[in-house]
Amino acid sequence: MSRIIATRAIRGAHKLVARAERELAAAIAEKGPDTRVEFPNTGYYLPISHGILGLRIETLGGLLDLLAEAKELLPPVPSENLWLPYLGNTLDAGMATLFADEIIEAVKYTRTPLPYLPETHPKEGHLWLGAANDVIMRERGIEFVDNTAPGFAACVGYCPTNEIAVRIARELQEKNLYVFMSAATEGKSMARQLAEEGIEMGWETRLVPFGDDVTATIHALGFSTRVALSFGGAQPGDYQRVLRYNKNRVFAFVLALGPVDDEKHAQAAGAINYGFPTIADTDIDNILPTGICTYEHVVSPVPHDRIVSKAIEVRGLKITVTRVPIPVPFGPAFQGERIRKEDMYVELAGTEKHGFEYLTGKGMEEVEDGKIEVVGPEIDEVAEGSQLPLAFWVEVAGRQMQADFEPILERRLHDFMNMAHGVFHMGQRDINWVRVSKEAKDKGLRFRHFGSIIHAKIHGEFGKIVDKVQVKIYTREKEIMDLIETARKAYRRRDERLAGLTDEAVETFYSCTLCQSFAPNHVCVITPERSGLCGAYNWLDGKAAHQINPTGPNQPILKAQVVDAARGQWQGINEFVFNASHKTLQLFSAYSIIDNPMTSCGCFECISCVLPSTNGIMTVYRNFPGMTPSGMKFSTLAGTVGGGLQTPGFIGHSKRYVASGKFISAEGGAKRVVWMNRDLKEELAPELRKIGRGEGIENFWEMIADETVAVTEEEVLAYITKMNHPALSMPPLF
């Protein structure tokens, strides 16, 4: 009977709130109420209290407000007979639990050394990662949007054996789900079990160990809350939207493994508020009627071999995974894995050997679907530690196939190869580099399986435009050198075609509303000279995606009449944006940062914003954790730009857009850039120098300040004045 669940959850909430009160009082007594609390490098205040209650907690003393809220919510334990309705109370107890969790975890972050690693993956002897920082969240955000990660499993407790833990982790990974692990039971936790088995963990492999305390579960729900604030356009304190957004957009669930104590029941009750059901391997009773979650709320007991598929069904999740016939696990979760030299069996291409990857369209009769040839030695014919050249020669045919799609399909070979467990892939075209692990080789992976991967994935993802795929894999120098020039000629031809593509040269742009799964009112308009702000989609991608899925998120938009050529406004675009933004945006300018700039979902690679006193702008890449001259870190800046809101003076954009001739051209273009974080500046050096030369300024790149010379707006102004930066003599921005 679910009264048992209610009773245990409410009891657990009482215990955790009492614990939070104790630990907070002790911390205040020791360190003082003004001691700062934060989850490092997160743009928001403590996420649950900020998202749900709108509180802005910055100090230990501030946590007392949250404690008061938690206590206020604590309901009585249901009576044995003639009980009063307990579902609402249980959910309130769950929320009180999350508040208590947040207090306890925030207090932990005031300790030195920090109990959690700042890195994205565990290190020798340190397993737990704690709260995700903003860089992680924005990088991972896009995966939740474009379906590479359909959701996450918050795993609490431990499995009966390490082997079962590994099997469940792998199954979740193969379903593309993130695995968030917390809450040890009697010192045993799933994350520790995976560690004992030498499984690579971290955000890269989607196996994320948050912490062994039950309260570390808050980092999973904190992540969800931040997603709602960053991408969902939810205002802090608008708990209804935060929670509804999670129910309908973030498809997460809780796997309760092993014994479930009162405190874990309380966490489950907290998660149900978010629409996340709990599936347990032990018998903790059921809550089957629907309503708070999409389907059932608690399902138990479920055997381990069915627990993942049951959880997916209960959450109402549809996951379509292309079955790839290879002897190692396969899925996006394996994309982030590294293969160290000592684990490597063979290395292909890279800096030591030649190689290339080439995909081309052919006539239907010229391609035999599924034909895979390996020209040169197979993996089992070479010694461990060998270095070999490598070329992929992929031929595809299909009635909808166009030459413009060749580079799009070709570029995806990188993703496809990386998805195989034990295969590492870098680069593209003629700078490819592949490693295969010993483990994969031992499991039976062969070079011909590269062909199987490419064949299956192209059919899976591009089935609408491609009917046939054949793959040749070359591992011998002679044949590779015979073919490499043909490939290089094709690369050059494509580059010229892309360079010739200007906004004026085309009639249609493409919309991208992929992110509306996360940011419901945001619309990207992708033009030949302004790629999607995530950096993942350019105009040709949009075109191909539309062919593949004519009713999908990428729609052609006729520009129609020009409204303002300089700012980049067209009648057709405005109308589309108005409708697609659910009537929240009247219009926007493709080329302006000031006048109705384009909105952002939250997945942007970079943010540019005006530094008023310099008459210029600064641009920061999302990996830069430091302070910027705007007075805000990237994470804080992101809070003002994301969620489909139009903020004059701020835009989110891709890295490459900086090099485009249409980069804020209404305000004079890249010449306005007065500050850039050093790494980005280095990366874009060739393009920036070229832009400078085009303007007749030889040392333009040097004129741009970075964090090594300026971290405040005053310092930027001083630096660019010294350097005589062109922005100073440009017309005023406002």
For another protein, the binding residues (CB under 8 A) are 1-3, 6, 52, 73, 78, 81-92, 94-95, 146-147, 150, 232, 239-241, 243-245, 248-249, 251, 273, 287-292, 294-295, 297, 312-313, 316-320, 513, 516-517, 520, 552-553
- Measured distance CA(634)–CA(262) in Å, rounded: 39
Give 303: exposed, middle or buried? Use CB within 10 Å, 0-12, 13-18, 19+: exposed
Least distance from another protein to the Cβ atom of residue 405, Å:
21
Nearest to 533 by CA among 547, 512, 548, 553: 512
Max Cα–Cα distance, the chain, nearest Å:
86
Q: The tokens 């912490």 sit on which residue?
A: 211
CB of 211 to another protein, least distance (A): 25
Closest distance to another protein from the beta carbon of 278 (Å): 14
Nearer of residues 91 and 346 to another protein, judged by Cβ: 91
Strands 569-570 and 562-564: antiparallel
Nearer to another protein, 300 or 589 (CB): 300
Backbone φ and ψ for 44, nearest 5 degrees, come out as -105, 165
Nearer to another protein, 313 or 369 (CB): 313
- Give min distance, CB of 517 to another protein, in A: 5
Of the pair 374, 515, the CB lying nearest another protein is at 515
Which of 78, 66, 77 is closest to 17 using CA atoms? 66
> C-beta of 81: minimal distance to another protein in Å?
7
Residue pair 223/206 in contact by the 8 Å Cβ criterion: no
Q: Is the CB of residue 47 less than 8 Å from the CB of residue 117? A: no
Our CB check for another protein shows the closer of 92 and 263 to be: 92
- Spatial separation of the C-alpha atoms in residues 457 and 417, rounded to whole Å: 10
Whole-number minimum distance, CB 516 to another protein, in Å?
5
Q: What is the closest distance, in whole angstroms, from the C-beta atom of residue 415 to another protein in the complex? A: 17
**Nearer Cβ to another protein (85/500):** 85
Measured from the CB atom, the residue of 120 and 294 that comes closer to another protein is: 294
Which C-beta is closer to another protein: that of 270 or that of 407?
270
Nearer to another protein (CB atom), residue 517 or residue 581: 517
Tokens encoding 373: 């040839």
H-helix segments, 621-707: 634-641, 678-683, 685-694, 700-703
CA–CA separation, 99 and 72 (whole Å): 11
Yes or no: say if 620 and 676 are a contact pair by the CB < 8 Å rule.
yes
Q: Which residues pair with 468 in a beta bridge?
A: 397
Cα gap 173→333, rounded to integer Å: 5
* Residue 723 main-chain phi, psi, to 5 deg: -85, -5
Q: Shortest gap between Cβ of 287 and another protein (angstroms)? A: 5
Which lies closer to another protein via its Cβ, residue 312 or residue 445?
312
Select 85 or 732, whichever has its Cβ closest to another protein. Answer: 85
Q: Which two tokens stand for residue 202?
A: 């971290």
Residue matched to tokens 């003639």: 82
The nearest distance, CB 275 to another protein, in angstroms, is 8
Give the H or E element holding residue 510.
strand 508-512
Q: Which residue, 78 or 370, is less far from another protein as judged by CB?
A: 78
Between 422 and 520, whose beta carbon lies closer to another protein? 520
Q: Which of 161, 267, 170, 265 is nearest to 210 (CA)?
A: 267
Which 3 state secondary structure label does DSSP give 304? Answer: helix
Beta-carbon contacts of 698 under 8 Å, excluding residues fewer than 6 positions away, are: 692
| Least distance (Å) between residue 644 CB and another protein | 12
How far, CA to CA in Å, does 721 sit from each of 614, 727, 729?
9, 10, 10
Within 10 angstroms of residue 408's Cβ, the number of other Cβ atoms is 20
CB of 513 to another protein, least distance (A): 7
Q: At its nearest, how many Å lie between another protein and the CB of residue 233?
A: 9
Contact 146, 514 (CB under 8 A): yes
Q: Least separation, in Å, of the C-beta of 146 and another protein? A: 8
3-state secondary structure 580-636: HCCCCCCCCECCCCCCCECCCCCCCCEEEEEEHHHCEEEEEECCCCCECCCCCEHHH
- Taking the complex as a whole, the smallest distance from the CB of residue 174 to another protein amounts, in Å, to 17
Q: 289 preceded by cis ω (within 30°)?
A: no
Q: Minimum Å distance from CB 545 to another protein?
A: 13
Could you please report the per-residue DSSP string of 86-139? -HHHHHHHHHHHHHHHHHHHHHHTTSSS-SS-SSSS-BTTB----S--HHHHHH
Nearest distance from residue 316's CB to another protein, in Å? 5
Q: Are 597 and 647 in contact (CB under 8 A)?
A: yes
